[in-house]
Amino acid sequence: MMSFEIGRPFPIDRYQATGQESIKALMTGGLFDILFYSLNPVDDRALFNRGLLRYGLYEREGLPFFLIEFPGHFSFDVPLNIRKIDPDAVADWVKSDANGLTLYLLNAHSNIIEGIRFIGLRPELIAQLRQVSREQLARYPTPPAVEEGFNHIYAHTSIDQMVRGTTIYLL
């Protein structure tokens, strides 16, 4: 059994630190987790673990972007490529009623877990995510096609525009 512990390296080999700040989605059996690789994890730890957090789902052209905002500090988006889920599991994923995700704060240099925070998502956001996920599957035949769609949206939409165009929930 895999163990996720603060102070230990993140245990999934394909998710390694690159020395750069980044955000990654880890698609799980029922939802997804978020990996935040921070250049300043010690500074970010208190905010990450206990700070005010807002979240939402931005969707455009059949593509979902999960938004996280730490008001007054920073915000980020997480594009969700449903095509990266094992094809044998995607039908169950789209029908899942899972509503919890884990946020991992990782050191961008060492891959050490610096913080873990679990959040439960509102049912209406989960319903919206499942709907846009089905749309993504219908519109984009491959993972690279989805990535191309994300890149097109990023070329024309900032994170601030995403936040303004989204229902945001306070945790």
Mean pLDDT, residues 61-69: 97
For residue 22, pLDDT beyond 80: yes
Burial 84-114 (b: 16+ CB within 10 A, else e): ebeeeebeebbeeeebebbbbbbbbeebbbb
For residue 171, pLDDT beyond 90: no
Mean pLDDT, residues 22-42: 95
pLDDT in tens, 132-147: 999 999 999 999 999 9
pLDDT at 67: 97
The DSSP symbol for 62 reads T
pLDDT at 82: 96
Could you tell me the pTM of the whole model?
Answer: 0.94
